[in-house]
């Protein structure tokens, strides 16, 4: 089955610093990847759609300059949380659709804690 690898699993950083999260499709190519955010005991909120070779598409209310997405290759998308603040603390999860399949394969998530 398709595997999506996400790193790091958790990160603690100081307020004002930037954090980069990587999402890789290991055994398939992903022209599109999705980034979600999840607060404790809540659902996943779609943040943006990452498109290989072009700009990401952000959902309403998501700050583009705050959450920088880069999809430089068919197997790698990155999310950079810039100038992180405590309110950015959350669980971030990436996913990619399998080739020809409407279902998503998810990374294991990144727990971000901003002090």
Partner 1 sequence: SQQGEEDPQALSIQEGENATMNCSYKTSINNLQWYRQNSGRGLVHLILIRSNEREKHSGRLRVTLDTSKKSSSLLITASRAADTASYFCATDNTGKLIFGQGTTLQVKP
> What is the phi-psi region of residue 49: left when phi exceeds 0, alpha when psi lies from -120 to 50, beta otherwise?
beta
Binding pattern to partner 1, positions 85-104, x when CB under 8 A? ------x-x-x------xxx
Parallel, antiparallel, or unpaired for β 110-114 and 10-13?
parallel
Task: Look at residues 82, 105, 101 and name the one whose alpha carbon lies nearest to residue 15.
Answer: 82
Site string for partner 1, 22-61 (x = CB under 8 A): ------------x-x----xxxxxx--x------------
- Which stretches of the chain bind partner 1, using CB under 8 A? 4, 6, 34, 36, 41-46, 49, 91, 93, 95, 102-109, 111
């Amino acid at each position: 089955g398709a595997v999506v690898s996400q790193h790091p699993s958790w990160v603690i950083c100081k307020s004002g610093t930037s954090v980069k999260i990587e999402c890789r499709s290991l055994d398939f190519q992903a022209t599109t990847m999705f980034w979600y955010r999840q607060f404790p005991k809540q659902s996943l909120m779609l943040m943006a759609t990452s498109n290989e070779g072009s700009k990401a598409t952000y959902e309403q209310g998501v700050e583009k300059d705050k959450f920088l997405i880069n999809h430089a290759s068919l197997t790698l998308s990155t999310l950079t949380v810039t100038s992180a603040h405590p309110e950015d603390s959350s669980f971030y999860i990436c996913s990619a659709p399998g080739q020809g399949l409407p279902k998503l394969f998810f990374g294991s998530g990144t727990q971000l804690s901003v002090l």
